[in-house]
A = this chain, B = another copy of it.
Amino acid sequence: MQARAGTAPRRGTRIDEVMDAIRARIASRTYQPGSRLPSVRAQAKAMRLSVSTVVEAYERLAAQELIYARPGSGFYVAGPVAPLALSELGPRLDREVDPLWVSRQALEADPAILKPGCGWLPASWMYEAGMRRALRAAARTDTAALADYATPLGLPALRQLLARRMAGAGIEAPAEQVMLTESGTQAADLICRFLLEPGDTVLVDDPCYFNFHALLRAHRAKAVGVPYTPNGPDLEAFARALREHTPRLYITNSGIHNPTGASLSPVVAHRLLKLADGTDLVIVEDDIFADFETSPAPRLAAFDGLSRVIHIGSFSKTLSASLRCGYIAARADWIDGLTDLKIATSFGGGRLASEILLAALTDSGYRKHMEALRVRLAQAMQQTVERLEALDIRPWLVPQSGMFVWCRLPGGRDAADLARRCLGEGVVLAPGNAFSQSLSAGGFLRFNAAQSLDARTFEVLARAL
C-alpha cells in the first residue's frame, strides 16, 4: 500500500522514477553506503527534472530510511540492511502438530497454498465494500478519533450497538457492562488473567478451538476436556469433571461450535447451568460465529443473566480479521478489574479500529452481506460434504450453518500424518488432535467449506489417502 493521495499522477510517476533510479544505484553500490548523494540541484539537472520533484523523491527515500539527511550538508546513503530471509516464507514441514500448528501454518502460508484447514473465510468473502466505505469515512472523521487513545471501556456508541445486538439474542448487557478489547482472543486472554491462578483447572470441549489449548498453556492452567455431543457438552462427563476437578472456568462456543459445527440445545444449556449451581465455575461463551447462524441457538449468557457467564465475541470471521476489535460482556463488578488489566497489559484499545467497526456494522449493507454469505456458505458446505464423502471422509454431523465440518477419515487413517503429507503438496489441513485435549481425535479433520472449493484440494487428499 502506498500513500499517494494528493499527488497528481504524472508527477507521482516522475517521483517514482527518480526513487527507482536511486534505489537501483544504491543496490548496485554506484552510490556507496555512507556516501553523499548528488545535491538536489545537480540531480535535477542530470535527470532533467524539476528541483521539487527531486526534493520529494529524496524526502520519500529518507522516510523509507534508505537515505538520510544531514542538516546543512545534504542526503547520504544509509547502511545496508539484510533482505528478508527466505526461511520466513513457505510451509514449515518440520513443525510438530501442536495446538499452534494449524494457525501458524495457515497464517504463514503464501497465497498459492490451499487452506481447507484454516479457520476463516477467503478475504474476498468478507465485507470488503463496507470496509472500504468505513475507511473513507474514517479518513474524514474528527481529529480525536484519528489520534487519541480510546476511553478505558472503549467507544460508547459501539458498546451501545453491541448491547442492542446482545439484547436481540436475549442477553441483557447494558453498555457499561461491555468492554471493548483488541480481539476476541484478547478477550479470552484477559478473562484468564483476571480469574485464573497458575495450576487452576479449566474445562474445555473435546474437541474445541485449538487456540484455547494454546491460551490455557500460556496461563499455566490445567485443561480438562469434556466430550462434545451434537447438542453441547456431554452432561454426565461435565458433572463428573465438576466434581473431580473443581474447575474455575469452562470455555465454549454456544452458537456454532468450533470445530464440530454443532449447536447447543436449550435443554443442555439449562441443565449445564443447573449443574454449575453452587459451584464457583465461571463460563466463558465465545460468540464469534453468531452472525453465521441461520436459526439462533440458545445462549448461556441469556439463560444465566451474566451472573456466572461471560460473553465474548468479535467480527473477525465476518467483517474483517485485519481490523482488530473484540468485546467482553460481564458482571458489572468484574468489568472494572478487567479494565485495569487491559490498561496494564495493552494500555487503551484501538479507538480507530472501533470507529471503523462501528461504521461498517451500522452500514445497512452488513445485514445484506451476511444474508448472501449464509446462502453462499450453505452451497459451499453441500459441495464440500459431497466431495469428502466421495473420498469416504464422513461428516460427524452436517452443520446447520457456519463454515466448519468435522469429519472422520476412512480406515483409521492418521490425520496428523495426512496433514504433514498434504502440506508438502501445498494443502494446509486441520488435523483433529490439534483440537482434542485427550488426543482422541487422531482420525478426524476439520474442513472449512469456504476454503475447500478448489478441486485440487480433493486430488491431493485422494493421492495422500
Contact = CB atoms under 8 A, between A and B. Distances in A.
Interface of A: 1-6, 56, 59-60, 62-66, 68-69, 78-79, 81-82, 84-85, 87-88, 99-100, 103-104, 107-108, 111, 120, 123-124, 126-128, 130-153, 156, 160-161, 163-165, 167-168, 174-176, 182-186, 189, 193, 198, 211, 214-215, 217-218, 316, 320-324, 339-341, 343-353, 355, 358-364, 366-368
Contacts of A358: 1
A59 B344 contact: no
Contact of A153 (B88, B103, B126, B135): B88
Contacts of A142: 1
Given A64-B362, A346-B186, A353-B353, A148 B123 contact: yes
Contacts of A193: 218
A348 B111 contact: no
- 10 A-B pairs with least C-beta separation: A65-B164, A59-B364, A214-B344, A135-B139, A126-B147, A3-B359, A123-B147, A322-B351, A322-B352, A324-B350
Given A99-B344, A111-B144, 7 more contacts: A1-B145, A3-B136, A3-B359, A69-B367, A104-B340, A132-B146, A145-B322
A63 B136 contact: no
A50 to B, nearest CB: 16
Given A68-B168, A128-B143, A160 B84 contact: yes
A56 to B, nearest CB: 6
B63 A362 contact: yes
A225 B153 CA distance: 31
7 contacts: A82-B175, A88-B176, A133-B139, A144-B322, A218-B344, A322-B351, A324-B349
Contact of A324 (B64, B163, B185, B324): B324
Contacts of A151: 107-108
A345 B81 contact: no
A127 B3 CA distance: 14
A315 to B, nearest CB: 11
A138 B350 CA distance: 17
Contacts of A182: 182-183, 186, 324, 346, 350
Contact of A198 (B56, B124, B175, B198): B198
Contacts of A343: 100, 103-104, 107, 211, 214
Select the residue from A176, A185, A350 with max chain B CB neighbours within 10 A.
A350
A66 B141 CA distance: 24
Contacts of A363: 3, 60, 63
Contacts of A184: 347
Given A133-B5, A347-B185, A358-B1, A156 B84 contact: yes
Contacts of A361: 63
Given A108-B152, A211-B343, A134 B3 contact: yes
A145 B135 CA distance: 12
Q: Which of A186, A193, A363 has the most CB of B within 10 A?
A: A363
A59 B362 contact: no
A7 B84 CA distance: 44
Given A81-B160, A344-B217, A3 B360 contact: yes
Contacts of A174: 81-82, 85
Contact of A136 (B99, B130, B136, B367): B136
Contacts of A88: 153, 156, 176
A374 to B, nearest CB: 12
B79 A167 contact: yes
